[in-house]
Amino acid sequence: MQNDKLSAAQRGQAHADARPHEAERANSGQAETIAALFVRHPLWEDALALLLGTAMVALGIAFYSHAGLLTGGTVGLAFLLKYFAGWPFGLVFFILNVPFYLLAIWRMGWSFTLRTVIAVGLVSLLAELTPHWVRFADLNIYYAALFGGVAMGIGLLMLFRHRASLGGVNILALFLQERVGLRAGTFQMGIDALIVLTAVFIVPPEKVALSVLGAVALNLVLAINHRTDRYMGVS
């Protein structure tokens, strides 16, 4: 009887000793599973995303330019200078973004900054070329406002998910999302609305109202889809 009691006690102690090891193995397996979910994008995927994302943004810009609309951020400022002074959109857009590269290098790193410089350069180029490739005989202004905003939102989403942006307010939006958890789309929606509202002195009120609609469509695409707690891909 005494031996049976000792044997039972020894078995209980053995089970107790095994529990920490089982928990450690379970935690290790869970960590490996979570790590496996974060799939790194290969270089060719990043390059393709930069090309397609900037092409979508340039298409949205072509919609807006033809309809006389504008959006927020440095894109909106470039539109204002184009409408007011007749300056070329692509060149103005590229120059406006130069000061923000310093913030990008300081806070986001060289990799992000390089991708952003490439993206801004591609949009500047494609924004000038797209009107020569795509001509609108009759473009409904409401369609241009809504789907132009959606096209730019999809393009920005592709860039964001591959660690790039279009500079300017995009850099601030991504920085605030990564540092303080403020959604990029929510922050940029407020800034874009402010910039669009200042256009009342240059653009007719109806087009300003439609520009606000387009800005909301653009940023809803980002606010709904650009969620760091859902998307697992990394670059």
Q: Per-residue pLDDT tens for 52-79?
A: 999 999 999 999 999 999 988 899 999 9
Q: What is the pLDDT of residue 22?
A: 54
Q: Residues 6 or more apart from 121 whose CB is under 8 A from it?
A: 94
Task: Quick: pLDDT tens for 189-206.
Answer: 787 777 877 888 889 999
As a residue count, the chain comes to 235
Identify the band that residue 164 occupies on the pLDDT scale cut at 50, 70 and 90. confident
List Cβ neighbours of 72 (8 Å cut-off, separation of 6 or more).
169, 188, 191, 192, 193, 194, 195, 196, 215
Cα 204 from Cα 234, distance rounded (Å): 43
Q: Does pLDDT of 80 surpass 50?
A: yes
7 to 2, 15, 19: CA distances (angstroms): 9, 12, 19
The one-letter amino acid at 174? L
Phi, then psi, of 234 in degrees rounded to 5: -135, 155
In this predicted model, which residue has the larger pLDDT, 224 or 59? 59
Q: What pLDDT, in 10s, does the model give residues 24-48?
A: 554 555 544 444 455 777 888 889 9
Q: Give the 3-state secondary structure of residue 66.
A: helix
